[in-house]
Amino acid sequence: MDEQDYPEIEDRLGPLGEPLERPRPGDWLAEHREKGQTFPQYLAGNPVRRDAKLNTIYLCEIGECDAAQRVVLDLTREFLALYFDAPVIVRRTGPTVAIPNAAKRKHPEWGDRQLLAPYVLHDVLEPDRPGDALAYLAFTPRDLWAGDGWNFVYGQADLRRRVAVLSIYRNGHPAKSDEAFRLCLRRTLMTAVHETAHVLTLLHCTANRCLMNGCNNADERDTRPLNPCPVCLRKLVWNLQVEPVGYLRRLAAFCEAHGFNDAAWFGRAGDLHEV
């Protein structure tokens, strides 16, 4: 079968790529040496890919969310379904998941109660991952840390084993105000899509401003766009084999409906691709 690899996405949408600025002290790229990943490098890595067998996203909730957080999670499910063109099914909820003391801690200086992200990935999710899971994601209102040397992480994914975990602990409280709700929603969407894209073996992007940029702090996270850059969009479209124009317009409509100016990029990309 001659399959599509969508070179026109990078050709036509090239003008929408915004090269990354030099990292400032404390930014992700100031502290982590990363080379990025071109489209040919992505293919050469034999990525996890959506196919007839792996076609559903499953969720596991760990810990109890309040009513406002629940609205955020429901919208995040909706966004994930659009972004990964797949049904998103809640498989397990809070009280059924027990985390042993060895995988919990109080942060030694800050006092935040945290769960060990690798434990969630490999001991909670992996043994319970359905055979048709393209991705099995855990959401938690608890803070996460990734083990020795880490203060906290927003989320963590395994690039081969189709599992990821993300926390809404550092996303602000959505019940405070409309503005706080929108900020919490945008941060949660950002982390959810970023980690799920890692599950599809996308590495951090160093080429352009992009949903797949690494981030170290709230400032970096809040200035990162909800859209992929043209290179990372090509990886997603190839992975999911979606028709790009309709795909971009559905994402534009969601962002528009929730007041995110990321809608403009998706809209322009859809228009440019269609011409």
Which amino acids are annotated catalytic? Answer: 195
Complex with Zn ion: residue 163 or 210, whichever CB lies closer: 210
Least distance from C-beta 195 to Zn ion, angstroms?
7
Complex with Zn ion: residue 144 or 205, whichever CB lies closer: 205
Complex with Zn ion: residue 6 or 181, whichever CB lies closer: 6
Q: Tell me the two tokens of residue 270.
A: 């859809």
For residues 161 and 133, is the Cβ–Cβ distance under 8 A?
Answer: no
Least distance from C-beta 196 to Zn ion, angstroms?
11
C-alpha 226/C-alpha 145 separation (Å) is: 24
Residue at token pair 């890692």: 198
Residues 6 or more apart from 33 whose CB is under 8 A from it? none
Complex with Zn ion: residue 143 or 195, whichever CB lies closer: 195
C-alpha 76/C-alpha 138 separation (Å) is: 12
Query: What is the distance, to the nearest Å, from the Cα of residue 54 to the centroid of all Cα atoms in its chain?
Result: 18
Complex with Zn ion: residue 36 or 141, whichever CB lies closer: 36
C-alpha 271/C-alpha 275 separation (Å) is: 7
Footprint on this chain of Zn ion (rule: CB under 5 A): 205, 210, 212, 229, 232
Task: Using CB atoms within 10 Å of the CB of residue 49, give its burial: 0 to 12 exposed, 13 to 18 middle, 19+ buried.
Answer: middle
Task: Using CB atoms within 10 Å of the CB of residue 111, give its burial: 0 to 12 exposed, 13 to 18 middle, 19+ buried.
Answer: exposed
Query: What is the distance, to the nearest Å, from the Cα of residue 89 to the centroid of all Cα atoms in its chain?
Result: 17
Least distance from C-beta 206 to Zn ion, angstroms?
8
For residues 217 and 232, is the Cβ–Cβ distance under 8 A?
Answer: no
Q: Which of 203, 174, 205, 201 is nearest to 187 (CA)?
A: 174
Q: Which residues pair with 143 in a beta bridge?
A: 114
